[in-house]
Amino acid sequence: MLETLLQPLQYPFMLRGMAAAVLVGIVCAVLGAYVVLRGMAFFGDALAHAILPGLAVGYLVGGGAREPLFWWALGTAVVTSLGIGAVSRNARIKEDTSIGIIFAGMFALGIALISSVRSYTVDLAHFLFGDVLGVGSQDLLLTAIFGGLVLLVVFLFYKEFMVLAFDPVLAATLRLPARLLDNILIVLIAVAIVVSLQTVGVALMVAMLVTPAATAFLLTRRLWKMMGLAALIAALSAVVGLYLSYYLNVASGAAIVLTCTAVFLLVWAATSLNRRVRAVAR
Amino acid sequence: MTFLDRSRNPKLTFLAHPHPHSPDKPILKVEGLTVEYDSGAALDNLDFMLQRGERLAVVGPNGAGKSTLFKVIAGILRPSRGLVEVAGHEPGGHICIAYVPQRTQVDWNFPATVADVVMMGRAGKLGLLRWPTTHDWKLVRQALATVRLLDLADRQIQQLSGGQQQRMFIARALAQEAELILMDEPLTGLDSRAQEELFSVLDMLHEQGVTVMVALHDLKIAGERFDRVMLLNRHLVGIGSAETVLDPAHLVDAYGSHLRLLPGTDGTLALGDSCCDDGDHDHA
């Protein structure tokens, strides 16, 4: 048993991958509490996909070098997130429609750019589904720095984000700078997506934002507890997912997301059953 | 409500220092207030004043502009024309105005306890980047004690009854140190006992000098329980004592053909407000 657990850890790439996956899981889960409570799942999914053209341009400009990609992705994510925010404020077009337009357009642009390179399939797969075992020391450092920054800002604006999520009218009557706080939250989501890129890729990114947070939502009654439990679930799912990936030889990002999904389904079934039993007992 | 919908609050400015109050000015003064939407005027040339500690019932048919009026007074909607002053200054700079939402507008599954929600009222006074101190928690406990919810402070908000939910929001207004509280249909869905508890809390607010404006459907309660009644139908039909405002001519003006005037047993009129049982449908 111990042998089974320790064997994968003798590889440095496995250790780095695990550290990155746990870190990313925690950051996304904490931020994901707001994504779940404010109904921003589609926005998060769209934003992750919309990063692709930025990655593609960085990839083409850098001649395939991996290091600059982080910054290309970050720039694209921040610009796109604020762009979607601005378009969403247009009263005529509904928010999910404008997100859909920008998201699909950007994603198509990314695929078009990448497909112009001859041997694109392997690299495209890395962008789409992640490559956690390819995480280098430099990547891990950037993930830790930017992930830490996201957590710090979430901590600093805890009460403001909570008021905005629960009651925007109260935020307005208390004269909180709602537009600014919304933009900060959007940029945080953008940063979280970028640091998660190598772990799960753009296609599965939204799961890291919503699944652990939704699981914790079913089990807790206070916001900070929801965030803490979501972080714990995400970190454990990252570790379990990576072991499954190692022994079953499946893609690591998919394994992590499937573990999160399995935990959610278990908790959902248990809480639903519990409610039924209580209703009957009454 | 979409998460980025700020189109209704065109000017939201953050103020580190809220407006000071002029004690010699009325708590609320409205002159020539007009709000126009694309679909037409929601409020047309309103004039009225409120003194400190007054209890005003706001009645009128659906779409009369009650919610619009509240939004303007709360400073989250700019009027097209006219003047609104809270304690001598325009409403957008105050943090002493509390809005108590309709219960259907709230996500009761939100992961927060009763005390958490009441503490949200402190967010304005605390300012950015500040965490609640023991003083803030003391104010929250006091507010909860005032509305007699202290023993439920640690409950998740969904576990409260309808009347308790309304009192929790009043406690939040108290924690906010609100001097003007706007309540949107607080009686909807409450049984008579819960209504009585709510009125005893409103009496307490009255004693503390807090001004309260309450949007209502029930004309009888408006007449019996409030100092003054405002009858609104986009324009101000009347404001004053129930006897002068709620007379048949005014009511027909406000409610038109929807109103049924029924002879009561003791010579008074019972009023059947048949059009208004399905919530408020303001243009706002």
Q: What is the CATH number of the domain that holds B54?
A: 3.40.50.300
pLDDT digit string (tens) for B115-165? 999 999 999 888 888 888 899 999 999 999 999 999 999 999 999 999 999
In a domain, B111, yes or no: no
What's the domain range around B229? 23-96+216-284
In a domain, B251, yes or no: yes
Q: Name chain B contacts of A217, Cβ cutoff 8 Å.
A: 109, 111
Q: Name chain A contacts of B2, Cβ cutoff 8 Å.
A: 88, 94-95
pLDDT digit string (tens) for A202-238? 888 899 999 999 999 999 999 999 999 999 999 999 9
Q: Is the pLDDT of residue A90 over 60?
A: yes
- The domain tally of chain B equals 1
What share of chain B has pLDDT > 70, as a percent?
83
> pLDDT at position A144, please?
94
Q: Which residue has the higher pLDDT, B93 or A27?
A: A27
Average pLDDT over residues B210-238: 88
Q: Name chain A contacts of B112, Cβ cutoff 8 Å.
A: 162, 166, 221-223
Which CATH number fits the domain that encloses residue A148? 1.10.3470.10
- Residues B230 and B57: their CA atoms lie apart, in Å, by 6
- Residues A35 and A37: their CA atoms lie apart, in Å, by 6
Angle at B235 between CA B229 and CA B241, to 5 degrees: 15
- Report how many Cβ contacts below 8 Å link chain A to chain B: 121
Exposure b/e, B86-104, CB count within 10 A at least 16 = b: bbebebbebbbbbbbbbbe
Least confident of A234-243, B4-13, B61-70, B108-117: B4-13
**Which of B6, B99, B124 minimises the CB distance to A179?**
B6
Of the residues B2, B3, B172, the best mutation for testing chain A's interface (the one with the most A CB atoms within 10 Å of its CB) is B3
Binary contact (B76, A172; C-beta < 8 A): yes
Mean pLDDT, chain A, as a whole number? 88
Q: Which residue has the higher pLDDT, A50 or B19?
A: A50
Of the candidates B220, B187, B217, the residue with the CA atom closest to the CA atom of residue B277? B217
In a domain, B174, yes or no: no
- The domain tally of chain A equals 1
> pLDDT at position A38, please?
93
In a domain, B173, yes or no: no
Q: Which residue has the higher pLDDT, B131 or A30?
A: A30
As for the ipTM of the complex, it is 0.86
- Residues B188 and B92: their CA atoms lie apart, in Å, by 29
- Residues B155 and B114: their CA atoms lie apart, in Å, by 6
Calculate the alpha carbon distances from A101 to A85, A88, A205, B132 in Å.
13, 11, 19, 42
Q: Name chain A contacts of B5, Cβ cutoff 8 Å.
A: 89, 95, 168
Asked if residues A28 and A86 have their Cβ atoms less than 8 Å apart, the reply is no
pTM of the entire predicted model: 0.85
Residue-by-residue DSSP string for B73-121? HHTSS--SEEEEEETTB-GGG-S-EEEE--GGGS-TTSS-BHHHHHHHT
DSSP 3-state percent helix, strand, coil across chain A (nearest 5): 85, 0, 15
Closest Cα of chain B to A146: distance in Å? 20
Q: What region does B38 belong to: left with phi over 0, alpha with psi -120 to 50, or beta?
A: alpha
In a domain, B204, yes or no: no
> pLDDT at position B271, please?
53
State the sign of the Cα–Cα–Cα–Cα dihedral A213, A219, B121, B227. positive
Asked if residues B110 and B155 have their Cβ atoms less than 8 Å apart, the reply is no
In a domain, B48, yes or no: yes
- Residues A97 and B222: their CA atoms lie apart, in Å, by 44
- Residues B110 and B90: their CA atoms lie apart, in Å, by 33
B197: amino acid identity, one letter: E
Of the candidates A80, A82, A106, A102, the residue with the CA atom closest to the CA atom of residue A93? A102
Burial of A261 (C-beta count, 10 Å sphere; 0-12/13-18/19+) = middle
What share of chain A has pLDDT > 90, as a percent?
44
Q: Is the pLDDT of residue B107 over 50?
A: yes
Asked if residues B167 and B201 have their Cβ atoms less than 8 Å apart, the reply is yes
In a domain, B81, yes or no: yes
Asked if residues B30 and B83 have their Cβ atoms less than 8 Å apart, the reply is yes
> pLDDT at position B151, please?
95
Give the N- to C-terminal CA distance of chain A in Å, as an integer.
45
> pLDDT at position A149, please?
96
In a domain, B16, yes or no: no
Query: Is A122 at the interface with chain B, CB within 8 A?
Result: no
Asked if residues B112 and B152 have their Cβ atoms less than 8 Å apart, the reply is no
